[in-house]
Amino acid sequence: MSLHSILFSIVLLGSLTFFGWNARRLIGYLRLGKQEDRFGQAAVRLKNVLEIAFGQTKLLREPLAG
């Protein structure tokens, strides 16, 4: 095994360890949040999507900026 292969293996192992540690930390933060019912009030949610996303009501709230 050449020196390049050994160095590559060490850097790869270090980067995978760092990635795994950060992924575990971020998943831990996400698990702190409470559960939410995303399928309730479908009519109200659809109305909000149509008004805000397609109607651009937030953009036109401030006429000078919008």
**Residues 18-66: tens digit of each pLDDT:** 999 999 999 999 999 888 888 888 899 999 888 888 877 777 676 666 5
Per-residue pLDDT, 34? 86
Angle at 28 between CA 31 and CA 13, to 5 degrees: 145
CA distance 14 to 29: 23
In whole angstroms, give the CA distance from residue 58 to residue 49. 12
∠ Cα 30 34 39 (to 5°): 105
